[in-house]
Amino acid sequence: MTSEWFPRPVLVGAAEAVTGISSGSTIAVTGAGGGILEPDALLAALEARFAEIGEPRDLTVVYALGMGDRRGGGTGHLARPGMVSRVIGGLWTWSAELRELARTEALDAYALPGGVISQLFREIGARRPGLITTVGLDTFADPRHGGGRFNSRAAEALVELIELDGREYLRYKPFRVDVAFVRGDTMDRNGNIGWAAEAAQLDALAVAQAARACGGRVIAEVKRVIDGVLDPHLVHLPACLVDTAVLVPERWQTHAGEYDPSLCTAAIGAGEDHEPSLPTGARGIIARRAAAEVRPGEVLNVGFGIPSLVVDALAAAGRSAENTVVIEQGIIGGRPLTGDLFGAARYPQVMHSSTTQFDLINGGLIDTTCLGMAQVDASGSVNVSRIDGMINGPGGFVEISQSADTVIFCGTFTTGGLAVDVVDGELRIRREGATAKFVRSVDQVTFSGSRALAHGRRVLYVTERAVFRLTTAGLELVEIAPGVDVERDILPHMGFRPIIVSPSQMGPAVFGTLACPVS
């Protein structure tokens, strides 16, 4: 039988592709920050249709990792009153407009762990009864602590507490997916789609699976169509899963540029000649001190922001080859990018789906992780999911922090205008931040200190002026920066008094120009 007899996606324009989407539909979308695998043309076409005729309305939109450019792209296309009535997202920070709709109760706002959403797509795609996991227990996702609801409109319970063999689990409930928006790089003459020139695979296959199992439609955005056939090893989305394809030849690989081969190819010795550029001030100090906790041979994960700078701190110390770095977007090896392109890596060694990556993470892949922190309380619990009353979402934070052997939270001691200098190897606080991060009780629990202790996790909190360790008795101050006075510079800016026994001084290399060697 020739390939002409196989079903193939119908190739249409973006406007035509979205015409069949009816009001009240549930749309599942793949994509990640910085424009990685983001089907922006489809989202823009959906927005344009709503602006023109007021349809479709009251959509439910579900995605695992944040999408957008903070200027109306990605999930920002959905931020029109009446267009969307419910959003279930892993990360909301890429769209200020969508977050504002959540704040003003213009839609039902939910956030769940990013890996949970990705894996739930797969469970829906296999017609299984939801996702049963320990991920999210004792956090905001636990129904005893809100169940992922982020405003009063979010009334429906999306997750329930169950018991199996005497152990607690969460069951994240399945839902119907009517439409899937996915993206790939190349579609061949048989309609098979590959990602060879993309910066990540993410959960595109799981998203498509969910829609197909529900009898929904799968719409794929591609950059090129070739007359030949793809190597079967490079096909990640088979034609039989896709209903409609949209050709967008002008689409960029990421928001940074049309195509960067280093984001999708491996290279021997890649990164060894990289000249790391650590920022001065508090961020560089924190990155160097956190890097000192990373042991040779470990599998290391880094999060967005200051934690991602730990990779540069290791490089500055000539330690790039000592560890394997993984990020939740499905990448193993290479050098993760920082800033808005976090989620991609230069010269990755392995690039598989984020759904699979979360399986590995939950199974104990990560030895040490460096993550951010917006708030920390006396029990060692951390909040990154609700900041200043606004929905933020956790991304992969929950899965990673609940599974890594060592968790290092990285962040400035205070925020909102903090400025520090290093003078003669000592820290000088030139201007204190307006907002304390160490508070009596966090606004929301994204990481449970008590759960971490119960499971034997090693937990540190690294700031520019102090390092804390989680103990069964609470947070202990274990190091202070040279030039810092505990009574003057630390205790007045904490909502609780930490345990203080005999804190040592942070090593001098942390305040120099080189990254701190392993301790």
Catalogue the active-site residues: 328
Are residues 109 and 154 in contact, defined by beta-carbon separation less than 8 angstroms?
yes
Length of the chain: 519
Write the CA distances from 333 to 211, 268, 348, 370, integer angstroms. Answer: 31, 12, 5, 16
Gap between the Cα atoms of 369 and 303, Å rounded: 8
Gap between the Cα atoms of 184 and 457, Å rounded: 38
Gap between the Cα atoms of 519 and 496, Å rounded: 29
Which residue in the block uniquely carries the two structure tokens 């029990």? 379
For residue 220, report the phi and psi dihedrals to the nearest 5 degrees.
-115, 135
Gap between the Cα atoms of 429 and 26, Å rounded: 50
Q: How many CB atoms lie within 10 A of CB 43?
A: 26
Gap between the Cα atoms of 92 and 98, Å rounded: 8
In 307-347, which ranges are E strands? 324-327, 331-332, 335-336, 345-346
Q: Give 314's DSSP letter.
A: H
Enumerate the H helices of 147-239 as residue ranges.
204-213
**Vertex 386: Cα angle to 384 and 387 (nearest 5):** 85
Exposure on the CB side of residue 192, measured as CA atoms within 13 A: 16
- The DSSP string of 109-144 is EEE--HHHHHHHHHHHHTT-S-EEESTTTTSTTSGG
Q: Please name the amino acid found at residue 123.
A: E
